[in-house]
Amino acid sequence: MDGFKLQADAIRKVVERDDNCDKEAMLSKAQVYDILSELTQDQIYELYNSSIFNDVTKAYAKRAMETVGLDEEQISDVLREIKYLHDTVNAGEIVK
């Protein structure tokens, strides 16, 4: 995917130009984007299906619900539904 490759290249340019950046951390990020650039969209969905991002997804959703003022019961209901969807619908299906 070209966007990931562009991101990796941009990070490497920052590393070349900025002596004050954390070069090791930045190059590690570039490596991740290089790996992602080699994956198809279906493979990216499969990464998500592996459940590696479930906790992150729930944390973002919880923060958003708190920000808009949902009460604790509503938040709990939505998080329960997200867990159910993670268990029953794959990423490729949910984005359609």
Q: Give the separation between CA 76 and CA 61, rounded to whole angstroms.
A: 11
Q: Give this prediction's pTM.
A: 0.79
pLDDT, tens only, 50-91: 999 999 999 999 999 999 999 999 999 999 999 999 999 999
Pure H helices in 18-71: 23-37, 41-49, 54-67
